[in-house]
Amino acid sequence: MKRQPLLLVLVPAVVIGAVIMVTYLALYATHSTHDEVRSNVESYTPGYMGEGNFSIDSMSRFARYIVIGTIADTTSRSYLLFDKVEEYHNGIVVNIDSELTGTYNNDKRIYFVGPSTNWVKSGDKVLVFLADKEPDSVWGNNYYIIGGLYGLFKVINDKVYGEILPEGLPLSDAIKIIEEARANRIKDISLNAKYIVIGRISDIVREDPYSDTHIKVDVEKELTGNYNEERITLLIDEKVLKHWGEGRVGERYLFFVRDDTKRGDDDNNSDGSSNTNYSVGKSGVYYINDDGIARGREFPEGISIDELKAKIIKFRRGE
């Protein structure tokens, strides 16, 4: 048997070994790079998990203000949760670059509070969705972050990172979503409402402390064209009424009535009107003041009732 030269045996073995080593190093480098990027992305996001599921679209429709800016200062504050038990919140001052609702005209700074915000610090650029002040709430007389920390995002290299965006989203894309959502406020609720009623509260019946209050309304106008009676009885959480108005007889509201009902014991009341009680959710209540300005969940800043009616009619026509 003829023996092969040693060089002819060793060279292919070395080449094969080199190929295997290069392939391994390439895979390792790719994996390491991926881990490093993933680790950095995770470091941009908070560990806090709030309740609910908040999208940029929904927060854009409900926000009082939407701010892009740089954190100038942070503070820590506490409130008494119950006897001898405190919970700590953080306060943040932001120098405003832009405010996307177009309704904040106070100055170039804004102060707001939220749960522990230790994942952001002074000098960080942020995008934040803020709810209006509720002096009687745990947030005190301050704007606060919508949805715990769902409404707070860190902006890094023109991408936004947060609880719902751990992989990031280009800031320009986030702004497009915000602008479209703002333009289409009350569209969904207008299309999904069974009835849309404008009228004044004529009676408030509190049957028990564990269920929604029965609100009787004298109908001034109904915008779907599907309700023809002079009165309607609505099941509403009274706290929602009092958030926007005072929740008393004589006040004028616009109600988006949901397509679910709860009938009374009899089909009709003694005056011949329907005894069907319709439900109204917290997004379906708009208080109308004496100047004709309506305020509700998607228009907390207020909107002319005539303009609100025009929007509703436009959306229902599919325009």
Rounded Cα distance, 126 and 153, in Å: 5
Task: Give the ranges where 149-291 is alpha helix by DSSP (H).
Answer: 171-183, 187-192, 238-244
Q: Residue 130: which of 69, 183, 189 has the closest Cα?
A: 69
- Report residue 284 as tokens: 């379906």
What was the pLDDT predicted at 24? 41
Do residues 222 and 196 touch, judged by C-beta distance below 8 A?
yes
What burial class does residue 277 get, using C-beta atoms within 10 Å of its C-beta: 0-12 exposed, 13-18 middle, 19+ buried? middle
How far CA 211 is from CA of 194, 214, 236, 296, in Å, comes to 22, 9, 9, 22
- Report residue 166 as tokens: 């751990």
What was the pLDDT predicted at 32? 33
Helix (H) or strand (E) holding 135: none
- Domains of the chain in start order, with CATH, are 56-183 (2.40.50.120), 187-316 (2.40.50)
Beta-strand (E) ranges in 100-194?
109-114, 125-131, 143-145, 152-156, 159-162, 165-170
Taking phi first (over 0 means left), then psi (-120 to 50 degrees means alpha), and beta for anything else, what does residue 84 get? left
Per-residue pLDDT of the chain (319 residues; tens, 9 = 90+): 455 554 454 545 544 555 444 444 443 333 333 222 222 333 333 333 333 458 899 999 989 999 999 999 988 876 665 666 666 778 899 999 999 999 898 789 999 988 867 788 999 999 999 988 877 777 778 898 988 788 999 999 999 999 889 999 999 999 999 999 999 999 999 999 999 999 999 999 887 777 778 999 999 999 999 999 999 999 998 888 998 999 999 999 999 998 766 655 445 555 555 567 899 988 999 999 999 999 999 999 999 999 999 999 999 998 7
- Report residue 248 as tokens: 């008393």
- Report residue 56 as tokens: 């940029």
pTM: 0.73
CA dihedral 288, 292, 294, 299 (to 10 degrees): -170
